[in-house]
């Protein structure tokens, strides 16, 4: 009897440990590990440039862990999988589930067609603590608000106490005939703008483990208070690793549970549950990335102002905390959560620019760009999500800076032209007396911009616009 061959189709599970589909595939005599860059179905949600950079390095790392046996393809997954099954006599195909609407409809079709062709196709959960359809209200409808969702989901979220190890023996096949070299996927940008990303990140399963253990040792103990201060090292920076599945939320949860500080752990686990809730919203409201979940916002008078959008993107708004965040994003592919909220609020509420423009820029620049978390968070900040920050809660970039970056370490790092400005004026340089500006060697309008809008007037304009859009209904 000939050897049995299975495919493990890697997608957003770029790891060997705690990988149920890979473990199932490993039962066969031989495994063909496959990654397919699907350039057919993702449409406007194809990975942005920063995500592509990450993916390139994550695949390189995975290939190394598989002793150079990872097979790479580009094109339509169904066509490629069928061709591989026929040519190599593959009888089983395994994968872990993804939850973006275009992925779900594609995968349902692939499973049906493979099963119809007599090939066993099976999928697993490897990236969520609880899948979206398993957490419902008593009347079987989905939750719209985080807290009751969290209370219900927390109980089912507890992972098994024992993690799945990486398969002990994996007899991998390499498809010498069709597998592409990694460079042929063309994930590395043509223009080398990613030096800052290389300095900031280590993509791959090993990098994820290092980030987790570094956080557990040095960050978690002060997570609850420290997570709001962008200059402090109290957050995990695990989001890109989680997005690409280099680590599972179960692994993170289990390790956090083994540490001793209950209060900080519970707070950290609550943030992991926000990730779950974002996936939940995307599953139950697939229009989340495109449409306001609150229809009142369909009448909102957004401004079409490409010049202001460009100043925001470049970190040249004249509001130092906003500019620091936007430059952190550009330079490192990341932005601290507190500053994401401030920069996003500034775009939608002070500049009145549609949240989708902001989400698109984040999508292109973030190494952790994630359709669920990005869309849900932008709708939350804009006030148009199911469970959103109230519209009148408009983050003030001056007071936010004074409160969460009190000694200006974060802001001065990314806006170095203001480094000699005293703390008192750092977040409102336009109020500094001429002598103070001169001593700090800052000429407003030359070294650093004047504010693009007045914070009080623009806030009032936003509140009036909301009232007017409600009147339209």
- Pick from 344, 60, 329: nearest CA to 200: 329
Instruction: Kindly state whether residue 377 participates in binding ligand FAD, applying the rule CB under 6 A.
Output: yes
* Residue in 285, 308, 363, 378 annotated catalytic: 378
- Residue 84, C-beta contacts closer than 8 angstroms, at least 6 positions apart: 7, 32, 34, 90, 175, 178
Is 17 known to sit in a ligand binding site? no
Binding mask 168-207 for ligand FAD (x = CB under 6 A): ----------------------------------------
Shortest reach from residue 335's CB to ligand FAD, in Å: 7
Q: Which of 78, 98, 272, 418 binds ligand FAD (CB under 6 A)?
A: 272
The stretch near ligand FAD (CB under 6 A) out of 54-62, 87-95, 335-343, 447-455 is: 335-343
Place of tokens 């001056």: 398
Which string of DSSP letters, residue by residue, matches 408-419?
Answer: -HHHHHH-GGGT
Is 9 noted as a catalytic residue in this protein?
no
Distance CA 112, CA 81 (A): 13
Is 369 known to sit in a ligand binding site? yes
Distance CA 21, CA 73 (A): 19
Q: Closer to ligand FAD by CB, 30 or 337: give it.
A: 337
Distance CA 221, CA 448 (A): 38
Shortest reach from residue 424's CB to ligand FAD, in Å: 28
Is 337 noted as a catalytic residue in this protein?
yes
Extract the tokens encoding 307.
């010049």
Instruction: Kindly state whether residue 344 participates in binding ligand FAD, applying the rule CB under 6 A.
Output: yes
Total site size for ligand FAD, rule CB under 6 A: 27
Whether the CB-CB separation of 143 and 152 falls below 8 Å is answered with yes
Extract the tokens encoding 330.
């550009």
Is 308 noted as a catalytic residue in this protein?
no
* Residue in 201, 355, 363, 380 annotated catalytic: 355
The pairs formed by 358-364 with CB atoms below 8 angstroms and a separation of 24 or more are 358/312, 359/289, 361/313, 362/329, 363/45, 363/48, 364/48, 364/49, 364/50
Is 283 known to sit in a ligand binding site? no
Instruction: Kindly state whether residue 357 participates in binding ligand FAD, applying the rule CB under 6 A.
Output: no
Shortest reach from residue 314's CB to ligand FAD, in Å: 18
Integer CA distances (angstroms), 429 to 56, 254, 421, 443, in order:
41, 46, 8, 10
Instruction: Kindly state whether residue 52 participates in binding ligand FAD, applying the rule CB under 6 A.
Output: no
Shortest reach from residue 157's CB to ligand FAD, in Å: 13
Strand order, beta sheet including 71-74: 71-74, 30-37, 5-10, 92-96, 120-124
Name the binding residues for FAD: 223, 268, 368-370
Q: Which residues bind ligand FAD (CB under 6 A)?
A: 227, 235-239, 242-243, 271-272, 274-275, 278, 337, 340-341, 344, 362, 366, 368-370, 373-374, 377-378, 381
> Which residues are marked as active site?
271, 274, 302, 337, 355, 378
């Amino acid at each position: 009897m000939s050897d049995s061959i299975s495919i493990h189709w890697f997608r957003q599970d770029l790891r060997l440990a705690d990988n149920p589909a890979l473990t199932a595939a490993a039962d066969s005599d031989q495994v063909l590990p496959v990654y397919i860059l699907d350039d057919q179905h993702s449409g406007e949600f194809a990975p942005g440039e920063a995500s592509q950079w990450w993916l390139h390095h994550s695949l390189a790392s995975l290939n190394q862990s598989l002793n150079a046996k990872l097979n790479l393809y580009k094109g339509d997954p169904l066509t490629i999988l069928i061709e591989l099954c026929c040519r190599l006599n593959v009888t089983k195909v395994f994968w872990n589930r993804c939850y973006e609407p275009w992925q779900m409809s594609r995968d349902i079709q692939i499973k049906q067609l493979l099963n119809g062709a007599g090939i066993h196709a099976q999928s697993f959960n490897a990236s969520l603590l609880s899948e979206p359809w398993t957490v419902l209200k008593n009347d079987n409808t989905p939750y719209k608000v985080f807290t009751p969702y969290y209370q219900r989901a927390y109980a089912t979220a507890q992972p098994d106490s024992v993690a799945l190890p990486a398969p002990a023996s994996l007899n991998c096949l390499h498809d010498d005939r069709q597998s592409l070299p990694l460079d042929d996927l063309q994930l590395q940008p043509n223009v080398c703008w990613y030096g800052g990303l290389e300095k900031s990140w280590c993509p791959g399963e090993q990098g994820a483990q290092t980030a987790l253990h570094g956080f557990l040792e040095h960050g978690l103990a002060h997570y609850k208070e420290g997570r709001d201060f962008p200059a402090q090292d109290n957050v995990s920076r695990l989001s890109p690793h989680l997005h690409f599945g280099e680590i599972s939320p179960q692994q993170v949860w289990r390790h956090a549970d083994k540490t001793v500080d209950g209060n900080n752990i519970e707070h950290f686990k609550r943030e992991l549950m926000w990730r779950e809730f974002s996936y939940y919203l995307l599953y139950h409201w697939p229009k989340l990335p495109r449409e306001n979940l609150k229809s009142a916002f369909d009448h909102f008078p957004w401004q079409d102002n490409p010049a202001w959008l460009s100043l925001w993107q470049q970190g040249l708004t004249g509001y130092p905390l906003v500019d620091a965040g936007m430059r952190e994003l550009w330079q490192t592919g990341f932005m601290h959560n507190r500053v994401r909220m401030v920069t996003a609020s500034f775009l939608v509420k002070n500049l009145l620019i549609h949240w989708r423009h902001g989400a698109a820029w984040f999508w292109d620049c973030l190494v952790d760009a994630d359709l669920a978390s990005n869309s849900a968070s932008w709708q939350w900040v804009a006030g148009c999500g199911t469970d959103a920050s109230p519209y009148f809660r408009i983050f003030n970039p001056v007071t936010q800076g004074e409160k969460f970056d009190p000694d200006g370490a974060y802001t001065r790092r990314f806006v170095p032209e203001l480094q000699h400005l005293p703390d008192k004026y750092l977040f409102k340089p336009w109020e500094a007396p001429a002598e103070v500006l001169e001593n700090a060697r800052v000429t407003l309008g030359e070294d650093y911009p004047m504010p693009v809008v007045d914070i009080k007037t623009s806030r009032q304009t936003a509140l009036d616009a909301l009232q007017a859009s409600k009147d339209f209904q």
